[in-house]
Amino acid sequence: MTGTHSTTASHIETTERYAAHNYHPLPVVLAEGDGAWVVDVDGKRYLDCLAGYSALNFGHTNERLVAVAREQLGRLTLTSRAFFNDKLSGFAEALARLTGKDMILPMNSGAEAVETAIKVSRKWGYEVKGVPAGQATIITMEGNFHGRTTTIVSFSDDDVATSGYAPFTTGFRSVKYGDVEAIASAIDETTVAVLFEPIQGEGGVVTPPDGFLTDLRALCTERNVLMVADEIQSGLARSGKTFACDHEGVVPDIYIMGKALGGGIYPVSAIAADHEIMDVITPGSHGSTFGGNPLAAAIGTEVVAMLEEGTFQARSAEIGEQLLAGLTPLVGQGLSDIRVRGAWAGIDIDPALMTGRQMSEALMERGILAKDTHGATVRFAPPLVASDEDIDLLVTSVREILAAAA
């Protein structure tokens, strides 16, 4: 590259000057990507083990998705939902088929999809369940991450996400993640939904106890409460299944999807539910200028087609087996715990050795990009197109960094 922005330092300096400091990035400036690998402005290659928080499940610049996007860019990108467009019909049908639900409601960002699920759940509670007006409550989980809108952070227990943003939206009850008995105790006549992540990604790839999803499904059915699964990060092949709920053969009342639904190319999100739930949405009661636009729908349709082939789910499971085999021996050798579900892993580092940020920085020096969370935890979520050699590089690098720090 040439000009005033030819180096990593100059890009970082300008970004820090003109862009709000709502992130604390690693000091790398990316310029290109292909598959599981990215290249910075100085020409250094990195293995991307974050994959846009699972938005890039299919890899950077995936040929199939780029081709669809390019074709649609030259035809029609936006109409608003004031009119029909010729791509939304196919997307809606395909995503309904993938989820096994009657209908979808398309939005853009994951946070918008969560907000949509909250609104639909409340409206269902009033119009179908018969909860008295203005009294609907939703049960949420401790350690959750569903986005950063005012309503969503209202039920977050992350001080960084909540500090300075009160007053908060009421109507939420937080219980211990994975504790069905606690959920049962929190349900009363005002409860309309239980909102949860089948795997808590931001928390460090935290998985609930075996049987939790099955028991929660039974509880929600028994108590006439909607089971609302936030599969924004865990879904669409990340966990080795199409949805993380599939690991226990459980079908929630509402699926929340985002990130990989847009193939890492364009913001695409949606919820899916059956008529009894979705029919509470009527013209004017909810919407989005860009939700369901032709470009998003074209990309989303191709994403569904790729998922229906099953190869990405299978590859995710293979990556998970490789990660588990490689990381397990490191427990007690610098790691205090690991959690792996498909191509998704969280490692807890012995705080006496280093922080998660320091591990991420050490990996970056070795040409691997990952992200820390909650102090001593680092998450790995490589694109599902990563090779066996790529995963070996990741595991070997973690092992060598730990050994050097011991």
Of all residues in the chain, the percent with pLDDT exceeding 90 is 98
* pLDDT score for 187: 98
**Known active-site residue 91:** no
The separation between CA 122 and the C-alpha centre of its own chain, rounded to angstroms, equals 23
* pLDDT score for 395: 98
**Known active-site residue 102:** no
* pLDDT score for 2: 40
With bands split at pLDDT 50, 70 and 90, how would you rate the model's confidence at 3? very low
Q: Which of 91, 145, 155, 380 is catalytic?
A: 145
With bands split at pLDDT 50, 70 and 90, how would you rate the model's confidence at 4? very low
Q: Looking at residues 215-231, what average pLDDT do you find?
A: 98
Q: Regarding beta strands 191-196 and 137-141, do their DSSP bridges make them parallel or antiparallel, or are they unpaired? A: parallel
State how far the Cα of 26 lies from the Cα of 296, in Å rounded to an integer: 30
Higher pLDDT, 40 or 2: 40
* pLDDT score for 376: 95
pLDDT above 50 (res 10): yes
Residues 6+ apart with CB under 8 A from 386: 35, 36, 47, 319, 343
376: nearest Cα among 396, 361, 358, 401: 358
Domains of the chain with CATH codes = 8-62+313-405 (3.90.1150.10), 76-308 (3.40.640.10)
pLDDT above 90 (res 1): no
With bands split at pLDDT 50, 70 and 90, how would you rate the model's confidence at 96? very high
State how far the Cα of 400 lies from the Cα of 135, in Å rounded to an integer: 55
pLDDT, one tens digit per residue, over 26-69 is 999 999 999 999 999 999 999 999 999 999 999 999 999 999 99
**Two tokens at 59?**
């890899």
**Known active-site residue 243:** no
φ and ψ at 189, to 5 degrees?
-65, -15
φ and ψ at 226, to 5 degrees?
-75, 135
pLDDT, one tens digit per residue, over 353-396 is 999 999 999 999 999 999 999 899 999 999 999 999 999 999 99
Q: With a threshold of 0.75, does the pTM exceed it?
A: yes
pLDDT, one tens digit per residue, over 185-212 is 999 999 999 999 999 999 999 999 999 9
CA angle, 36 then 143 then 260, to 5°: 30
With bands split at pLDDT 50, 70 and 90, how would you rate the model's confidence at 90? very high
Of all residues in the chain, the percent with pLDDT exceeding 70 is 99
Q: Which of 48, 230, 348, 390 is catalytic?
A: 230
The residue to which tokens 């000057």 are assigned: 17
Q: Looking at residues 297-311, what average pLDDT do you find?
A: 99
Q: Which of 212, 259, 312, 390 is catalytic?
A: 259
Query: To the nearest whole number, what is the mean pLDDT of the chain?
Result: 97
**Two tokens at 324?**
């588990």
pLDDT, one tens digit per residue, over 320-335 is 999 999 999 999 999 9
Determine if the peptide bond prior to 167 is cis (ω within 30°): yes
pLDDT above 70 (res 272): yes
